[in-house]
Amino acid sequence: MSNAVSTAPRAAVRPASSKPTEQRKTALAWLTLPALFFFLVFAVVPLAGVLILSFASWDGIGAIGAAGLDNWFSVLADPGLYNALGLTFLIMIVSWLVQTPISLLLGVFTAGSQRYRAALAVLYFLPLLLSSAAVAIAFKALLDPNFGLATGLGLPFLAQDWLGVPQLALGLVIFVIAWQFVPFHTLIYQGGVRQIPKSLYEAAQIDGAGTIKQFFHITLPQLKYTIITSSTLMVVGSLTYFDLIFVLTGGGPGNSTRILALDMYLRGFRANLMGPASVIAVILVIIGLALALFLQRLGGKDKQGSQLEGL
Amino acid sequence: MVGYSAAPNRGLGTRLRRLNIPGGLGGWLWLAIIILPVYYVVITSLKTQAGYFGQNPLALPTSPTLENYQMVLEADFATYFINSAIVTLGSVIPTVLVSFMASFAIVRGAGRFLKLVNGMFLMGLAIPLQATIIPIYLMIIRLNLYDSLLALMLPSIAFAIPLTVLILSNFIRDVPNELFESMRLDGCSEWQTMWRLALPLTRPAIVTVAIYNGLHVWNGFLLPLVLTQSPSLRVLPLGLWTFQGEFSVNIPAVLASVVLSTLPILVLYVIGRRQLLAGLTAGFSK
Amino acid sequence: MKQPQTSRRSFLALAALTPFAVAATSACGTSGPGASSGGGGASMWYLSGEPNQTTMQKAVDAFNPANSADKITVTYFQNDAYKTKIKTAIGANQAPTIIYGWGGGGLKTYAEANQVDDLTGWFDQNPDLKKKFFPSVFGAATVNGKIYALPNQYIAPIVLFYNKDLFQKAGVQPPQTWDDIMSLVKTFNDMGVAPFSLGGQSRWTSMMWLEYLLDRIGGPEVFNAIFEGKPNAWMDPAVIQTGTKIQELVSADGFIKGFSSITADSQADQALLFSGKAAMMLHGSWTYGAMKKAGQNFVQNGKLGFVPFPTVAGGKGDPKNGVGNPAQYMSISSKASDKEKESAKKFFKDGILTDTVIDAYINSGSVPIVNGIENKLNMSEDKEFLNFVYGMAKNAPNFQQSWDQALSPTAAEALLNNIDQLFLKSITPQQFAENMNATLGK
């Protein structure tokens, strides 16, 4: 009886609109046109442009000529390229190693329910608000061997020539990048942790698991997609740390912080070699794409699916 | 009942209390690392140049002065602020608008075209803006837009779209199908559904992407560096850089410019912190 | 139900369009300095930094009221930022009417891209103007036999400055040979004072050292060969010796600690000299005027000493040879309108090097490139320095233009980069020469 009642109304309330579902769904396609326009014209076309320019010879001032494979040969034979590549990957990996654990732990920390943690969190997120230029300038002043923190805190260790010694400059760059971006990733992890259902922890506690066990067996696995998101943003983002390094060290001292993006800019706009600079740009894009693909593979194909499934 | 509700709390409290000592220590240490530079910047900006050279860097200024701030304001920082505001609004609003529409189509629609578009946007996530700066420079020149604020907006919009679409589409995907069905049953077209249902429900994510993109554009440096030249069109980060280059011996003035350039966002942060932070997390934690 | 929808949508649309509208109007307003309101008047970009900024502004302020149809508008940029910005502007066809530069390889790039006007004919029509200047200044303005720039301002040789107070305290004399320098380095380090101030981050400041050293050791022929692009020209033993000597100086702590993060633009390097933190400084003659202004009477009280660059034992170069900028140069953008070019030329003729301006330069311790100023120099309170510089300009058998201006921008950038590394001791003099060899002919 109830079956008949439940089916009948459903049959009567078939789609009010007369258009078949399929047609309506594909008609939605035009909604993407504005976004597509911007993206194609100002992202995809320049992308093609980079490839084309890598085969051109242009000094940024005169006319653009053809250069065939010359730029590619000269750049690939230039040790400067490998220096830049090495530095970029070094900074990328070390940054990840430094930032992820700190952000994760801080994310868990700030997701806790104590009041003082919320208060601390307010201050933690301050660096998020600053532009890279501002951060770089502030640190330059801070680390002045004569008038900066070193004298203030009375720590001679801090009075090094941070920006003048190659290894120190590199270390400083990694530190400042972490200082600026850990808050952002902390936020992401905090959000991720807050989404973990308390029921899982309660169940674990009933089973007698301690805090550390809970962290490794519940928190970390539940944060899988958060880790992938944060890592993707971090890794792809690290390819583009232009602003901070440009203002902080300008690529120096010497070439010790001349990452790929900076190398490209300096080659193109200072040395007037737009062709070779475009070669570097192409390399940047290839690396970016490869990394993104790799990380997507790592995250599993169902990244698109809602994470609420199964809960 | 009282016993039942009290027990889990006590359990939670004990668990977290045990985490406290290393966690707490770490937390306070990180706080020091964050706050110290900020503190240094603020108090130095209130010192005179002589005071800066004379006093202990971490000591509070003996005779605090606002003259540095005056100097910075006289150096056209108000103009830079307005430029930044124009560029940010002019980038974020179109980005969110077009991305929202595209996300809706991708989630609710079907067909090869939409799958293609989605895939393309996903690939776009991996393209660094920096890599395309040279052709963009060339294009902007040919379009006669060199040295204009518009030149800063267009590429910013294009490169913000992939991530915005990703986040927004994730959110829209979580809207239960039944709600869409009921809209359809009410006789609403997809267009109406988009604005009446999807938009309000996606609001947390929209706030996220608006804030994220806004911060990005506000603090952007490379595009203004390459695509603008007139001092009257400088945005804040560029103005900051130029100022510090010229006055780098006058550290208090330079740091005052840093504070001033951050002040607007700081104010927003103080006012709408909860919304800001909640907004930033909502979209990413999916 | 419909009302809120439409109003929300239209609000969004309006909000979205407003920034574009504002931007569009502001874009129109600044569609480039080259395309001003159609009338006359010319735009100019110039370097910020005293005292020259004030001098140029005064020149413009004196010219404009008398020439209302040809008003000059100046925008000031910092040195290092300017060098990049001007290239971007020229490439974008948004260059100012009057393009400031240092001649040589940079000017050649502009000329060969047809971005600057050939002024040879104009000079022929104005022979008085041509005769006004030192004859030697036209070399750097000439490309393929044609003159593309107006020589301007002052001659700027590189001078070895020293702090007389510190020298008195140490009881030593200013250096005359390279060996003197090395011993002075020890003396001052023992005293706790940096021997030499250096704004190493700017790199062209470090380059000055190499310019003089190479000239003293091997004579001007070595760089001439490089300039002409002769194969392997950088591998000359004089180059290697130069690199070796400079690294010896670095290793002996000859330069102030942290020199590679000090920029010249901020004038921090000059501050180190007049505040007594460094004993000597090798820098352009224009810093005399800058130090006069910022040094709190250091210069006026006679504490600033100056000598020519010392000789190197066994060197082939004439000790009277000079190194530096023979002049500064102003070109006219070929993309400017005819009216703008006329205004610019008028300014060139009547405004840029008037007697008032010449006096201003002399007052700030610079020697204008104008003939017949000996009396004026002698009447100045800085006559000792001015005559020193003037003598250098007049009597130098060879005056080498700054390398980074003589060479093409591409080679120059590689040069500055390699010099940076040489001073950091990250590359050997041999590697330096090899790296530079690869840029010959570029």
pLDDT given for residue B248 in this prediction = 67
Structure confidence at residue A1 as a pLDDT band (50, 70, 90): very low
Q: How far is CA A82 from CA A274, B130, B133, C196, C421, in A?
A: 19, 19, 21, 35, 16
Structure confidence at residue A223 as a pLDDT band (50, 70, 90): confident
Q: Which residue has the higher pLDDT, A223 or B279?
A: A223
Q: Cα–Cα distance between B168 and B172 in angstroms, integer?
A: 6
Q: Cα–Cα distance between B151 and C94 in angstroms, integer?
A: 14
Structure confidence at residue A299 as a pLDDT band (50, 70, 90): low
- The region of weakest confidence among B228-232, C73-77, C133-137 is C133-137
pLDDT given for residue C2 in this prediction = 40
Please tell me which of the candidates C259, C410, C412 has its beta carbon nearest to residue A164: C259
In a domain, B56, yes or no: no
pLDDT given for residue A126 in this prediction = 84
In a domain, A134, yes or no: yes
What would you report as the CA-atom Rg of chain B, rounded to the nearest whole angstrom? Answer: 24
Please tell me which of the candidates A61, A252, A270 has its beta carbon nearest to residue C109: A61
Is the pLDDT confidence value at C26 over 50?
no
Are B145 and B39 found together in one domain?
Answer: no
Q: How far is CA A6 from CA A3, A11, A12, A13, C59, in A?
A: 5, 9, 11, 12, 93
Q: How far is CA A157 from CA A149, A178, C150, in A?
A: 10, 20, 53
List, in order, residues 6 or more apart from B138 with CB less than 8 Å away: A49, A53
Q: Cα–Cα distance between A177 and A20 in angstroms, integer?
A: 53
- Which chain C positions have a beta carbon within 8 Å of A254's beta carbon? 417, 420-421, 424, 426
Is the pLDDT confidence value at B83 over 80?
yes
Is the pLDDT confidence value at C14 over 70?
no
Structure confidence at residue C365 as a pLDDT band (50, 70, 90): confident
Percent of chain C with pLDDT over 90: 53
Please tell me which of the candidates B44, B158, B265 has its beta carbon nearest to residue A39: B158
Residues of the domain holding A207: 65-298
Of all residues in chain A, the one with the smallest CA distance to B7 is A202
pLDDT given for residue A20 in this prediction = 57
pLDDT given for residue A9 in this prediction = 45
Residues C8-25 have a mean pLDDT of 49
In a domain, B127, yes or no: yes
Interchain contact, B249 vs C271, CB within 8 Å: yes
- A95 at B interface, C-beta within 8 A: no
Domains defined along chain C, listed by start: 42-153+327-371 (3.40.190.10), 157-324+402-437 (3.40.190.10)
Q: Cα–Cα distance between A240 and B129 in angstroms, integer?
A: 8
Q: Which of A272, A273, A274 to mutate to test the interface with C (most CBs of C within 10 A)?
A: A272
Are B123 and B215 found together in one domain?
Answer: yes
Residues A31-57 have a mean pLDDT of 92
CA-wise closest residue to C60 among C441, C359, C350: C350
Are B21 and B146 found together in one domain?
Answer: no
Is the pLDDT confidence value at C278 over 90?
yes
In a domain, B142, yes or no: yes
DSSP class of residue C311?
B
Nearest CA of chain B to the CA of C332: how many Å? 19
- C27 at B interface, C-beta within 8 A: yes
Structure confidence at residue B282 as a pLDDT band (50, 70, 90): low
CATH no. for residue A174? 1.10.3720.10
pLDDT given for residue C25 in this prediction = 44
Are B35 and B85 found together in one domain?
Answer: no
In a domain, B159, yes or no: yes
Is the pLDDT confidence value at C15 over 70?
no
- B124 at A interface, C-beta within 8 A: yes
8 Å CB contact between C119 and C133: no
pLDDT given for residue C425 in this prediction = 92
Q: Which residue has the higher pLDDT, A297 or B131?
A: B131
Structure confidence at residue A157 as a pLDDT band (50, 70, 90): low
Are B31 and B79 found together in one domain?
Answer: no
pLDDT given for residue B20 in this prediction = 58
Q: How far is CA C221 from CA A251, B75, C229, C232, C316, in A?
A: 33, 48, 12, 14, 10
Residues B158-178 have a mean pLDDT of 88
Residues of the domain holding B12: 2-45
Structure confidence at residue C260 as a pLDDT band (50, 70, 90): confident
- Which chain C positions have a beta carbon within 8 Å of B242's beta carbon? 78, 81
Helix or strand holding residue C324 (H, E): strand C322-325
CATH no. for residue B91? 1.10.3720.10
Residues B4-29 have a mean pLDDT of 55
Residues A136-160 have a mean pLDDT of 72
Residue C161: φ, ψ to 5°? -90, 155
Is the pLDDT confidence value at C20 over 80?
no
Q: Cα–Cα distance between C88 and C86 in angstroms, integer?
A: 5
pLDDT in tens, C75-112: 988 888 898 889 889 988 889 999 999 999 989 999 99
Complex ipTM over 0.95: no
pLDDT given for residue B11 in this prediction = 45
Are B221 and B139 found together in one domain?
Answer: yes
Q: How many domains does chain B have?
A: 2
Full 3-state SS string of C112-179: HCCCECCCHHHHHHCHHHHHHECHHHHHHHEECCEECCEEECEEEEEEEEEEHHHHHHHCCCCCCEHH
DSSP string of B22-54, one letter each residue: HHHHHHHHHHHHHHHHHHHHHHHHTS-HHHHHH
Residues A72-78 have a mean pLDDT of 91
Are B26 and B163 found together in one domain?
Answer: no
In a domain, B54, yes or no: no
DSSP, collapsed to helix, strand or coil, labels residue C368 as strand
Interchain contact, C19 vs B90, CB within 8 Å: yes
- B39 at A interface, C-beta within 8 A: no
Are B199 and B121 found together in one domain?
Answer: yes
Is the pLDDT confidence value at A12 over 90?
no
Q: Which residue has the higher pLDDT, C285 or B286?
A: C285
Helices B149-173 and B112-124, packing angle to 10 deg: 120
In a domain, A39, yes or no: no
Structure confidence at residue B88 as a pLDDT band (50, 70, 90): very high
Q: What's the sign of the alpha-carbon dihedral C375, C376, C381, C386?
A: negative
CA-wise closest residue to C105 among C402, C324, C335, C397: C402
Q: Which residue has the higher pLDDT, C416 or A25?
A: C416
Is the pLDDT confidence value at C258 over 70?
yes
Q: How many domains does chain A have?
A: 1
Q: What is the dihedral of CA C353, C356, C357, C360, to 10 degrees?
A: 150
Average pLDDT of the residues of chain A: 80
Structure confidence at residue A7 as a pLDDT band (50, 70, 90): very low
pLDDT given for residue A213 in this prediction = 79
Q: Which residue has the higher pLDDT, C301 or B27?
A: C301
Please tell me which of the candidates A63, A145, A254 has its beta carbon nearest to residue C424: A254
Interchain contact, B93 vs C266, CB within 8 Å: no
Q: How far is CA B44 from CA A63, A250, A298, B74, B212, in A?
A: 49, 24, 47, 19, 30
pLDDT given for residue B133 in this prediction = 92
pLDDT given for residue A214 in this prediction = 79
**Assigned token pair, C148:** 């593309």
**Assigned token pair, C285:** 């003659």
Q: Side-chain half-sphere of C205: how many Cα atoms within 13 Å?
A: 27
Is the pLDDT confidence value at C234 over 90?
yes
Residues C219-224 have a mean pLDDT of 93
Are B128 and B202 found together in one domain?
Answer: yes
List, in order, residues 6 or more apart from A279 with CB less than 8 Å away: A54, A71, A72, A75, A76
Residues C299-303 have a mean pLDDT of 90
Are B33 and B116 found together in one domain?
Answer: no
Average pLDDT of the residues of chain B: 82
**Per mean pLDDT, which of B5-14, B124-133, B276-285, C324-333 is the most reliable?**
C324-333
- Which chain C positions have a beta carbon within 8 Å of B90's beta carbon? 19-20, 22-23
Q: Which residue has the higher pLDDT, A122 or C9?
A: A122
- The region of weakest confidence among B21-30, B40-49, C80-89, C389-398 is B21-30
- Which chain B positions have a beta carbon within 8 Å of A265's beta carbon? 130, 133, 222
Whether residue C51 is preceded by a cis peptide bond, meaning omega within 30 degrees of 0, is yes
